[in-house]
């Protein structure tokens, strides 16, 4: 067993209990690593409060790393290029932050000369895979510990354990939601959400509480595949995401309620708040409709699904993901232009316009009015050649296959 462990620390119930539990049960020194990936946006407590909780639980130290811009520019950016939504819905809120955290967890483990890293994930979640596979990719020599897979405590038991050791936590036996937050959105599970028939309670929502019932219209300005401004007001990507979370979320837009297939083989009901992520991906995909050549567009759509699966499954640091990144980046050279979005309470969004200096849309070819420049006569030969294979098959085989079968 390692003597010193670097723990990926969130300040929540599981990781706070993990600090004390590892000290008591395994006799190790614990260094907490709290990586700020934007989870402080609507928090009622400061990072100083969370750091104090770690130290009160017995941690040797609690290092706080500001990785918000890194999260946006190195991780969210690639998700935007790939229009990444796992199973066509989930924009990888938690999955995107895990490789960011792993990178800094390994870095701090080296600085503190720890022999192992640890996380607070259970045995049935996706995050255990993301933390452990990511660590093995970056530091195959480090041991990876998972106290929540060993202690055998329910969430109610963990609340009791925290009370026993005077660890102040925000969860209770009555309100045992598990919430993970970063600048790309919020993931909410446990409690009433575990019944897929039950409507989610309004209580845990923060980003998408309706505070503006007026229509909000804005234009996202893109350059080489990334949003760089709102209504021509330039801002960094992390600032833009935060701004859009606020403006779109205020109309109630951005909630997801879905049953998803976890990597470990079980189905889980998950609720998400991700107004900026969903709006940006929708706008980006719409702009690509305008500028990407047909075959590139179709092939990219197929690879987007695979890219999202890789990230969901914890394979950020993998050769296939790196290869797919190269393809995605290459397709973004001409994804520059503007997309107009309209948000209306409660929770509705429409794309009402798009334009680009690289648009492949040609009015003369598309219109049916007097300005039509399409050579209609050319289509006769095209259609004949295009359907020649089917026509030949029909002449030889199709007639007998088309005869109705007797019941």
Catalytic residues: 14, 98, 127, 178
Rounded Cα distance, 13 and 154, in Å: 11
d(CA 134, CA 149): 18
- In degrees and rounded to multiples of 5, residue 113 shows phi and psi of 55, 40
CA distances from residue 117 to 34, 169, 234, 252, 315 in whole angstroms, order as listed: 13, 23, 39, 39, 18
E strand residue ranges, 183-266: 185-189, 216-223, 226-230, 233-234, 255-261
Residue 285: half-sphere exposure toward Cβ, Cα within 13 Å: 17
- Residue of 244, 213, 214 lying closest to 231 (CA atoms): 244
Instruction: Quote the CA–CA distance of 222 and 392 in Å, as a whole number.
Output: 48
Do the beta carbons of residue 196 and residue 210 sit within 8 Å?
Answer: no
| H or E, element range at 284 | helix 275-291
Q: Residue 325 CA to chain centroid, in angstroms?
A: 16
- CA geometry: angle at 237 spanning 234 and 241, to 5°? 100
Buried b (16+ CB within 10 A) or exposed e, 82-96: bbbbbeeebbbbbbb
CB of 243 within 8 A of CB of 231? no
Rounded to 5°, angle at Cα 348 from 81 and 68: 40
| Cis before 41? omega within 30 | no
CA angle 113, 34, 281 (to 5 degrees): 125
Distance from the Cα of residue 117 to its chain's centroid: 24
| Cβ–Cβ under 8 Å, residues 26 and 167 | no
Backbone angles phi, psi at 354, to 5 degrees: -150, 145
């Amino acid at each position: 067993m390692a003597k010193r462990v670097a723990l990926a620390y969130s300040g929540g119930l599981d990781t706070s209990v993990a600090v004390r539990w590892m000290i008591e049960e395994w006799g190790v020194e614990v260094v907490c690593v709290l990586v700020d990936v934007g989870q402080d946006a609507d928090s009622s407590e400061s990072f100083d409060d969370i750091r104090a909780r770690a130290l009160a639980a017995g941690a040797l130290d609690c290092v706080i790393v500001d990785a918000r811009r890194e999260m946006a520019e190195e991780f969210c950016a690639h998700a935007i290029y790939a229009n990444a939504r796992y199973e066509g819905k989930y924009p990888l809120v938690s999955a995107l932050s895990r490789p960011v955290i792993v990178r800094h967890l390994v870095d701090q483990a080296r600085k503190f000369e720890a022999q192992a890293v640890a996380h607070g994930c259970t045995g049935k979640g996706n995050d255990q895979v993301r933390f452990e596979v990511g660590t093995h990719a970056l530091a195959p020599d480090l041991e990876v510990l998972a106290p929540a897979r060993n202690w055998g405590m329910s969430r109610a038991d963990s609340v009791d354990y925290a009370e026993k050791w005077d660890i102040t936590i925000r969860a209770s036996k009555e309100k045992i939601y598990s919430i993970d937050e970063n600048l790309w959105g919020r993931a909410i599970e446990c409690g009433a959400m575990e019944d897929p028939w039950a409507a989610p309670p309004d209580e845990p929502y923060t980003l998408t509480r309706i505070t503006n019932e007026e229509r909000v219209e804005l234009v996202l300005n893109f350059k080489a595949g990334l949003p760089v401004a709102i209504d021509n007001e330039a801002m960094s990507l992390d600032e833009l995401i935060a701004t859009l979370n606020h403006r779109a979320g205020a109309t109630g837009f951005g909630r997801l309620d879905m049953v998803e297939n976890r990597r470990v083989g079980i189905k889980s009901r998950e609720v998400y708040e991700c107004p900026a992520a969903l709006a940006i991906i929708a706008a980006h995909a719409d702009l690509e409709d305008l500028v990407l050549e047909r075959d590139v567009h179709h092939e990219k759509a197929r690879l987007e699904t695979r890219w999202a699966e890789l990230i969901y499954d914890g394979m950020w640091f993998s050769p296939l993901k790196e290869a797919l990144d190269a393809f995605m980046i290459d397709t973004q050279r001409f994804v520059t232009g503007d997309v107009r979005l309209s948000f209306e309470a409660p929770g509705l969004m429409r794309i009402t316009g798009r334009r680009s200096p690289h648009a492949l849309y040609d009015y003369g070819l598309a219109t049916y009015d007097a300005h039509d420049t399409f050579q209609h006569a050319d289509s006769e030969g095209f259609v004949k050649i295009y359907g020649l294979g089917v026509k030949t098959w029909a002449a030889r085989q199709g007639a007998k296959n088309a005869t109705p079968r007797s019941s």
